Amino acid sequence: MEEMKKAKIKVIQGEEWKIEGDLVLKEEKIYVLKNTELRTEIIWLHYDVLAVGYGGRWKIVELVTWNYW
């Protein structure tokens, strides 16, 4: 929320947005700010899922977008 205030996002409107604790959700997915370190960590978490195996970059994008906006 602090990062959104810094970016001068004043109001989150619409039914697709929700705030649950420290998380901002858009369409039931966790909204991730433009933070390179955080986004890289999220990608690596999905890349390292052994059960899925490596299916190429588009498979990783698919996995990430299941939970994150």
Q: Render each residue's pLDDT in the chain as its tens digit; 69 residues.
A: 566 666 666 566 677 888 888 888 888 888 887 889 988 888 888 776 655 566 677 777 888 888 888
Q: What is the DSSP letter of 69?
A: -
The single residue listed with the structure tokens 């990062």 is 3
Residue 58: C-alpha distances to residues 23, 46, 47, 63, 66 (Å): 26, 12, 11, 9, 12
| Residue 37: per-residue pLDDT | 93
Q: How far apart are CA 58 and CA 55, in angstroms?
A: 7
Helices (H), the chain: 2-6, 36-47, 57-67
Extents of the domains making up the chain = 2-67
Check: CB of residue 35 under 8 Å from CB of residue 3: yes
